Chain A
Amino acid sequence: MSVTDLSAVCSPIHQARGLPNAHYIDGAVFTEEKQALLYSEWAGLAVAADVPEPGDAVPISFLDIPLLLIRDRKGAVRVFQNTCRHRGMILVDAPRKIEGAIRCPYHSWCYATDGKLVSTPHVGGPGKNTHEGIDRDLLGLIEVRSHIWRDVVWVNLSGEAEAFEQAMADVIARWAEFDTPLFHGGADSRFQLDLNCNWKLAVENYCESYHLPWVHPGLNSYSRLEDHYHIEQPGAYSGQGTLVYRQLKNDDGTEFADFDGLSDKWDKAAEYIAVYPNVLLGVHRDHAFVILLHPQGQGKTREHIHIYYATTDTDANLRQRNTEQWKEVFAEDVFVVEGMQRGRNAPGFDGGRFSPAMDGPTHLFHDWVATRVQAHRDQSTAAE
């Protein structure tokens, strides 16, 4: 792999260039970024609503690592490596309810939903389930560090990131008013989009408002460009806000209930933040959404979208309309992110220039990527 030159990325925005093409189309750089940006940070894996009941288990391949999302018997959401400690067999290969134990389909070693190894049948010979060389206490499932915030199951695969509350302190404080119960809208409030683009392009497009009048003309009637503001927290997140959020209404005038305790500021405001690396969040007075970006290689990304409300008894028709509205908006972005991906096969493209006035949130993300990748390289060099 040729090491990319990132020196221009972290320059002041009026001089900076974006990340080089290789950061979007080169498999070796993708592998480097997995380590530098996704394993080492708190990344979004799933939502707790994926496992609503004790025993619910969902296998997830994240960055080619087989993981198991499970709600244990006591109700805690946990993430394990989905691999038996015996022969490395995949334990759960489809979403299902664990009624008793997680039984490996190969030699039937069994694990409790909290990861403890509870049985090793015939390990000492036929009908002998113990052996002095096998200490079950040392052979539980390998747990991945996880934390739930805004129903997102965040994971730190390296195990070395600072505590979630510290790492995310700024965005947690910014949205402290939204720290109220939120309820997944259910089956009609989740959908996926498969994108032919690098995951970073989805972040970059999400966090700026510059494209809104061109790509989302339907918003012009009430949400004009000048009604938006930048959200910029170097090294952590960036995004955009609007001052003219308009609630969806049923024909009879009913609306979704508001989240409890919001200040007047949120009557017409809404914010959309990309929490680095791969979680896109949106909040409004009456609903919120989560977009999890799962990279599938350097040129493919799967978006998992979930919509939340302040109550469990939302109107089904209104909820459906809200889902359709967001689907339409997100679908409008597909040609953009896929077009930028194709554009990065042009060898003369130098990363591009930013609008100093409009691209601040995007540049912050590039700066974060470049800084983290460079730090990873420096660390790797020092270790040699």
Chain B
Amino acid sequence: MTRLNNRLLAAHAAGDTPALVALYTEAADTAASQDAMGFYLTQAYIYALDAGHGSATVLHSRLVEMGRDY
């Protein structure tokens, strides 16, 4: 997680939105709890939405399935 965290910080510093989508999705997929997964999926979804990234629809669906969005 530390390595992922460092990559996330680097992506934030670079304003690299596609990387943020990918890295937060990765964080969600390896999260230890549903709450953590919901948090990371939300982060990934928002950056995907911001960038018009194709994964926004899938990420949103996952959040809806978890009861965390509509």
Contact = CB atoms under 8 A, between A and B. Distances in A.
Interface in A90-149: 99-101, 103, 108, 110, 118-119, 121-122, 124, 126-130
B68 A128 contact: yes
Given A100-B51, A100-B52, A126 B46 contact: no
B16 interface: no
Contacts of A124: 68
Contacts of A122: 39, 42
B9 interface: no
Interface in B3-29: none
Contact of B49 (A119, A126, A127): A119
Interface of A: 99-101, 103, 108, 110, 118-119, 121-122, 124, 126-130
Contact of B68 (A103, A118, A130): A130
A152 B51 CA distance: 30
Given A126-B38, A127-B36, A127-B38, 20 more contacts: A100-B49, A100-B51, A100-B52, A108-B46, A108-B50, A110-B49, A110-B50, A119-B46, A119-B69, A121-B42, A122-B42, A126-B35, A126-B39, A127-B35, A127-B68, A128-B38, A128-B68, A129-B63, A130-B68, A130-B69
A343 to B, nearest CB: 51
Interface string B30-53: 000001111111110110111111
B69 A103 contact: no
B5 to A, nearest CB: 17
Interface residues of B, number: 22
B36 A100 contact: no
Which secondary structure dominates chain B's binding surface?
Answer: helix
A97 to B, nearest CB: 10
The 3 A-B residue pairs with the shortest CB-CB distance in the complex, in nearest-first order: A127-B38, A100-B52, A127-B39
Interface of B: 35-43, 45-46, 48-53, 56, 63, 68-70
B50 A100 contact: yes
23 contacts: A99-B51, A99-B52, A100-B48, A100-B51, A100-B53, A101-B50, A101-B52, A103-B46, A103-B50, A110-B46, A118-B49, A119-B46, A119-B69, A121-B42, A121-B43, A124-B68, A126-B39, A127-B36, A127-B39, A127-B40, A127-B68, A129-B42, A130-B69
Nearest to A126: B39
A129 B68 contact: yes
A122 B43 CA distance: 9
- Among B49, B51, B63, B69, chain A packs the most CB atoms within 10 A around the CB of B49
A121 B37 contact: no
Contacts of B40: 127
A127 B41 contact: yes
- Among B42, B56, B70, chain A packs the most CB atoms within 10 A around the CB of B42
A101 B52 CA distance: 7
A130 B69 CA distance: 6
A32 B8 CA distance: 52
